[in-house]
Amino acid sequence: MPSERELSSSLNMSRMTARNVYVRLEQDGLVYRSNRRGWFVAPHRTRFQLMRSVSFVRNIEAEGEKPGIELLECEIIRMPSLVKRELQAEVGQKSYYIRRLLKISKRPVLIETLYLPCSRFPGLMEHDLTQSLQSLWENEYDVTISRSEMSLKSTILKENECDLLGVDQGSVGIHLRQVHFDQDSRPFSIDTEDWRNNVVEFSIAVNYGG
């Protein structure tokens, strides 16, 4: 008969093995973890077409799913040097700093951080910022996105990001960074998004001239 120590060691090993299996399944996008609730079978990966729209809401709705947005932070700050340079802003100009948690069918999938010049969007904080910001820009400020410059890379999610997204500390995510240009080809927004790495499939269509 195995000793108490042997039984305990075997039980701990079984738990570790099961945990590793779940982590591997999560990496493959087959299950996902919800803090304090356990593991669940993951829905299919949502297709996110970068050429269709930069809007999270429009992309998710086009796939027949329900987007959700939670406002985490919104304040007026002195524009950081890098943001000032990329937005071609004048010295002393201030910007909105907006941070949001975006969801698909109530499941947190990404954290979005935006910088927008206050002079371009007066009174922005008076509006509902849990809606599509692209629609807000178009309808209230007559600002239309003509093009965006994007970069995409893997990243290690920060501690607070892991907590918000319900993933293990040190998890790998997807970092998407966009600079948006208006109808006059002027940069007006910097948008960074940190995604869970197992919820979407990014796609892009390229037409080559003959």
CATH of residue 167's domain is: 3.40.1410.10
Q: Are residues 65 and 7 in the same domain?
A: no
Q: What is the pLDDT of residue 210?
A: 53
Same domain, 38 and 56: no
61 in any annotated domain: yes
* Domain identity same for 94 and 170: yes
Q: Distance between CA atoms of 4 and 24, rounded to whole angstroms? A: 30
Residue 50 near residue 202, CB atoms below 8 Å: yes
Residues 34 and 129 in one domain: no
Instruction: Verify that 29 and 106 share a domain, yes or no.
Output: no
- For the chain, the domain total comes to 2
Contacts of 72 (CB under 8 A, 6+ apart): 99, 100, 101, 111, 164
In a domain, 183, yes or no: yes
Residues 34 and 80 in one domain: no
On whether both 175 and 96 belong to a single domain, the answer is: yes
Looking at residue 102, its amino acid is L
Amino acid 27 reads: Q
Are 101 and 153 members of one domain? yes
Supply the range of the domain harboring residue 117: 46-203
pTM here? Answer: 0.78
| 87 and 8 together in one domain | no
Contact by Cβ (8 Å): 147, 184: no
Q: Is residue 210 a part of any domain in this protein?
A: no
Q: Say if residue 89 is in the same domain as residue 191.
A: yes
pLDDT tens by residue, 174-203: 999 999 999 999 999 999 999 998 887 777
**78, 143: one domain:** yes
pLDDT in tens, 103-160: 988 889 999 999 999 999 999 999 999 999 999 999 999 999 999 999 999 999 999 9
Answer yes or no: is 209 within a domain: no
